[in-house]
C-alpha cells in the first residue's frame, strides 16, 4: 500500500539503473532523469515508502505487454498450424494411388505377366500372348520395369485431376502395352530382341526327326503320322465332327489337312480327302509335319487370330511353315506344296530360322531383326 505522506520529489526509480522518477506527492509521473553524484550525496535517490506500490503499478504494463505478445505469437503460430487442415479441407490434393482407375490399371498390368507353363501346352497363346520361355521371361521383365515407373504418391491439384490422369494416361498406357505385347512387342524394345531357343521345343524337333518314316502293317503311314503328332500332344483324325471350329471346316475340299486354330490346345490334325488320298505314301507324313510346324511356330510366336497374323499367313505363312518343316522336322521338300503362298523361298527359309532361333521375326510384317 502506498505511503500517501511522502512529499513530492525525485526518488529512486527502483530499477537498479540509478534512474530518478518524479513523485508528485500522490502518484508517479512520467518524468525521469539519471541520478547524479550530487543527488546521491543529498539523499535524493532514497525511495519513498510507495516504491513497492509504484513498482507494482509499473510492472503491470510490462506483464500485459508480454502477455499480449505471447497471445499474438500463439495466434500466429496456431494459425499457421490450423491453416494446413483448413486448406486441405477447402482445397484437397489428389494422390494417384487413391485415384479411380489406379488399382485397375496396376491389376491389369500385373495380369499381363505370362505364366510359367510348358510352351507346348498351348498352341501359341496364353491370353493371346506368346508362351515360349524366352519371350515369356522378356515380357515379365518388361512389365516389372513398367510397374516400377508408376509413382503412386504422385500428387495433383485435386482428386478429380488424379482420377482423370489415372484413366486417360495411366490406364490408357496399360491398354497400349497389352496391344503391343499381343503383337510380339511391336513398338517396344522387344520387337527386335532375340530370345534364347526353347530347349523343350528343340527336344521335340529332335524327337520328331528321329521317328522312322515307314508304313504300318496295313500299308498306310497313319501310324507314323500319329507318332509324330503325339510328340506335340495331337492326333490325326478324319472325323471332322470333332472340330471346335465354328464353321467352314466341313466344306474344305482342297486342303490336305489343318488344325482348328480356335481350339485351345489344337488336339486334332484334321485330314481332308486330298490328304487322305496320300495315306499310302510318305506324303501323308510330310503333310503331318507341315501341320506340326504350324503348331510349333504358333507356340513360339503369338496369337493365331491377330489381324497381323492373318495378313502374314495369307502372304507367306504357309511358305514359312513349309520351310520350318523341312529345316527342323525332316520333311521332304519334294512332297511339300509349292503353289501360291506355300512356295518356299530364301525369305521363308530366313523367317523359319528366325522363329526357330528365337528372333522375334514371327508376324512383325515379316521383317527380320536388324533389317
Average pLDDT over residues 239-253: 66
pLDDT band at 198 (very low <50, low <70, confident <90, very high): confident
Q: Where is pLDDT greater, at 273 or 361?
A: 273
> What's the domain count of the chain?
3
pLDDT at 65: 44
Which of 152-166, 325-339, 347-361 has the least mean pLDDT?
A: 347-361
Residue 114 shares a structural domain with residue 255: no
Confidence of residue 347 (pLDDT cuts 50, 70, 90): confident
Comparing 138 with 64, the larger pLDDT belongs to 138
Cell of 19: 534512474
Residue 244 in any domain: the answer is yes
Angle at which helices 318-329 and 199-209 cross, to 10° = 70
Residue with cell 507324313: 285
Q: Do the domain assignments include residue 362?
A: no
Mean pLDDT of the chain: 75
Q: Which of 30-39, 88-97, 234-243, 352-361 has the lowest mean pLDDT?
A: 30-39
What confidence tens digit (pLDDT) does each residue in 145-159 have?
999 999 999 999 999
> Radius of gyration of the chain from Cα atoms?
46
* Dist. CA 194–CA 217, nearest whole Å: 45
Same domain, 154 and 178: yes
Q: Judge whether 4 lies within some domain.
A: no
pLDDT digits (tens, 9 = 90+) for 260-318: 766 767 788 999 888 899 999 999 999 999 999 988 887 777 554 455 566 666 667 78
The 3-state DSSP class for residue 113 equals coil
Domain presence at residue 123:
yes
Residues 292 and 345 in one domain: yes
| Domain with 281 in it | 199-357
What is the rounded distance in angstroms from the CA atom of residue 332 to the CA atom of residue 348? 16
State the pTM of this model.
0.59
What digits encode the pLDDT tens for the residues 51-91?
A: 434 444 444 444 444 444 444 444 444 444 444 555 555 66
Statement to judge: residues 85 and 104 lie in one domain: no
Per-residue model confidence (pLDDT) at position 371: 42
Domain boundary residue, one of 45, 61, 90: 90
User: Is 1 part of a structural domain of the chain?
Assistant: no
| DSSP states along 39-95 | HHHHTTTPPPTTHHHHHHHHHHHHHHHHHHHHHHHHHHHHHHHHHHHHHHHHS--EE
206 with 302, same domain: the answer is yes
Regarding whether 148 and 135 lie in a shared domain, the answer is: yes
Residue 365 lies in a domain: no
Residue 204 lies in a domain: yes
Are 102 and 63 in the same domain?
no
Q: Residue 7: its pLDDT value, please? A: 73
Residue 364 lies inside a defined structural domain of this protein: no
Give the lowest-confidence range in 47-51, 52-56, 226-230, 328-332.
52-56
Mark whether 239 and 103 lie in a shared domain.
no
The mean pLDDT value for 118-131 works out to 54
Q: What mean pLDDT do residues 323-352 have?
A: 89
- Pick 182 or 126 by higher pLDDT: 182
Amino acid at each position: 500500500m502506498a505511503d500517501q505522506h511522502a512529499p513530492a520529489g525525485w526518488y529512486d526509480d527502483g530499477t537498479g539503473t540509478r534512474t530518478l522518477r518524479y513523485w508528485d506527492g500522490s502518484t508517479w509521473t512520467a518524468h525521469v532523469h539519471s541520478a547524479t553524484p550530487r543527488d546521491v550525496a543529498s539523499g535524493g535517490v532514497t525511495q519513498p515508502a510507495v516504491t513497492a506500490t509504484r513498482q507494482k503499478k509499473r510492472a503491470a504494463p510490462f506483464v500485459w505487454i508480454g502477455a499480449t505478445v505471447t497471445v499474438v505469437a500463439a495466434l500466429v503460430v496456431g494459425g499457421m498450424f490450423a491453416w494446413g487442415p483448413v486448406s486441405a479441407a477447402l482445397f484437397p490434393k489428389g494422390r494417384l494411388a487413391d485415384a479411380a482407375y489406379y488399382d485397375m490399371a496396376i491389376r491389369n498390368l500385373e495380369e499381363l505377366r505370362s505364366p510359367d507353363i510348358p510352351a507346348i501346352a498351348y498352341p501359341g497363346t496364353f491370353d493371346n500372348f506368346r508362351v515360349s520361355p524366352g519371350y515369356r521371361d522378356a515380357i515379365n521383365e518388361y512389365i516389372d520395369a513398367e510397374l516400377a515407373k508408376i509413382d503412386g504418391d504422385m500428387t495433383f491439384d485435386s482428386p478429380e485431376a488424379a482420377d482423370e490422369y489415372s484413366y486417360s494416361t495411366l490406364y490408357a498406357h496399360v491398354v497400349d502395352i497389352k496391344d503391343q505385347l499381343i503383337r510380339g512387342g511391336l513398338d517396344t524394345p522387344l520387337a527386335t530382341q532375340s530370345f534364347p531357343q526353347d530347349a523343350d521345343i528343340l527336344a521335340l524337333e529332335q524327337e520328331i526327326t528321329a521317328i522312322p518314316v515307314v508304313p504300318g502293317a496295313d500299308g498306310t503311314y497313319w501310324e507314323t503320322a500319329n507318332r509324330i503328332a503325339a510328340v506335340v500332344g495331337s492326333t490325326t483324325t478324319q472325323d471332322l465332327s470333332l472340330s471346335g471350329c465354328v464353321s467352314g471346316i466341313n466344306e474344305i475340299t482342297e486342303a490336305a489337312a489343318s488344325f482348328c486354330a480356335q481350339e485351345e490346345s489344337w488336339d486334332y490334325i484334321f485330314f481332308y480327302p486330298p490328304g487322305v488320298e496320300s495315306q499310302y505314301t510318305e506324303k501323308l507324313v510330310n503333310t503331318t509335319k507341315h501341320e506340326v510346324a504350324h503348331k510349333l511356330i504358333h507356340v513360339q510366336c503369338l496369337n493365331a487370330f491377330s489381324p497381323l497374323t492373318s495378313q502374314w499367313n495369307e502372304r507367306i505363312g504357309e511358305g514359312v511353315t513349309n520351310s520350318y518343316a523341312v529345316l527342323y522336322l525332316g520333311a521332304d521338300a519334294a512332297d511339300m506344296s509349292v503353289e501360291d503362298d506355300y512356295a518356299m523361298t530364301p525369305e521363308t527359309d530366313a523367317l523359319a530360322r528366325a522363329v526357330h532361333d528365337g528372333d522375334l521375326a514371327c508376324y512383325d510384317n515379316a521383317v527380320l531383326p536388324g533389317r
